Structure 1
Amino acid sequence: MTTGVPTSTAPRRRSPARTFLPLAIAAWLILEIWLLSLVADAVGGLAVAALLAGGMILGVVVIKRAGRRAFKNLADTFQQAQQGRQPAAQQPGQGNGLTMLAGLLLIMPGLISDVAGLLCLLPPVRAWIGRSAARSLERKMASAPAGSFGDAFTQTRIHYPDGKVVQGEVIREDRPQQPGGTGGPGDTAYRPPLAP
């Protein structure tokens, strides 16, 4: 029994990210191991072990601080919402996501990941990454077809000043009313709201 829905038999194109991401991860791991062996030859294995342990401890501390700050921000947002105030919007790069990413990079064993984690902790770098990610997300959402996840994401960002999403129907009051309310295009008689 066929359902009448056409199916494509053409093979799907593999995205470049799915092609190159495994190669990039493998190259990164090989580079990390090579760099650790170079540093171990220069300063000794004990110093490398201490360096990796210090990076892990620093990463745990960074993630713990970012988690506490995220929980405090969440509690403040709920408190402001209960008091009827609009929570202040965060600037790109001031969130805790990049700080937690920096902590995860510090926890991972390796010198390149530690340097990347330390760079993510710097406020100018964090702000630049946040702005770049926000612009990239905006471009992807703007080019999303209607009815997709991107369209839904865009629709949820249409807010009234109090932060509540209001769904409804727009009735124009500036059209001339036809006498007798005939239901024509100029009729402004009462219309019930749209029901889901």
Structure 2
Amino acid sequence: MRRRVPWGVLAVLFVVVPIVEIYLLIQVGQVIGAWWTVALLIADGFLGSWLVKHEGGRAWTALQEALREHRMPARELADGTLILIGGTLLLTPGFLSDVVGLFAILPLTRPLARRALTRVITRRLVVSTWAGPMGPGGPGGSGRSTAGTDPRTRQRPGPDESVVQGEVVNE
């Protein structure tokens, strides 16, 4: 079962955000002038590309180090994702997208963005797991959690756990 994006979110992304970007460009242009606004956007693009190159290189080095140490590179992959998203937003003309892009790229604010990204991904995984084949709407969709009942995912007891032999009797 695929989870669909609400129409309100799409409306905000494709209608409201561009209107706010245009409004901000007009306001800045009225304060500092049209040519200075264009120059500011170009300089902002160069700054964004430099930041992406610099922070992306650091994230790549951290990812390689994590793989060399044979540990799961979750933080490094999240940083790389945020730098990619932030870089895309910085290269997009507009001041609102630049602020969000800087928030995702700068080392001081990236941990906050990483926490937000982790929350979103965790929520999606929990929803996906719950609405999976044995969750609500699936076979036997009782709304109860069926974790551990699938023999393919059941784990053997560890050395500290006891196994009680028994027989199941259906009445």
User: Which range, TM-score by smaller chain?
Assistant: 0.5 to 0.7
Identify the residue that residue 93 of structure 2 maps to in structure 1. 109
| Counterpart Cα distance in 2 of 1:59 and 1:97 | 15
Q: Residues 101-141 of structure 1: CA distance to partner in whole angstroms, max 9, x if unpaired?
A: 22222111011112222233444532222223323322332
Instruction: Measure the CA separation in 2 of the matches of 1:124 and 1:100.
Output: 17
SS state at 2:109 partner: helix
Percent identity over the alignment?
26
- TM-score using structure 2 length: 0.63
Q: Aligned equivalents of 2:84 and 2:164: distance in 1?
A: 59
Worse-superposed segment, 43-52 or 62-71: 62-71
Deviations 1:62-83 (A, max 9, x none): 2212332233233323433xxx
Unaligned runs of at least 5 residues, structure 1: 1-13, 81-85, 149-166, 178-183, 186-196
In the alignment, which of 106, 114, 119 is matched to residue 130 of structure 1? Answer: 114
Q: Is 1:20–2:8 an aligned residue pair?
A: yes
- Residue 150 of structure 2 corresponds to none
Long gaps (5+) in structure 2? 135-152
Distance verdict in 2 for CA 1:39–1:68, change over 3 Å: same
| One-letter identity of the residue aligned with 1:104 | T
1:57 aligns with 2:36: no
- Could you tell me how far apart the structure 2 residues matched to 1:103 and 1:176 are? 56
RMSD: 3.6
Map 1:32-111 onto structure 2 (within 5 A): 32-80=21-69, 86-87=70-71, 91=75, 95-111=79-95
Q: In proportion to residue count, which structure has more helix? A: 2
- 8 Å contact kept, 1:59–1:103: yes
Quote the offset at 1:27 in angstroms. Answer: 1.4
Pairwise mapping of residues 125-164 of structure 1 onto structure 2 (< 5 A)? Answer: 125-143=109-127, 144=129, 145-147=131-133
Instruction: State the shift of 1:53 in Å.
Output: 0.3
Determine the C-alpha separation between the residues in 2 that align with 1:63 and 1:120.
Answer: 10
TM-score by length of 1: 0.56
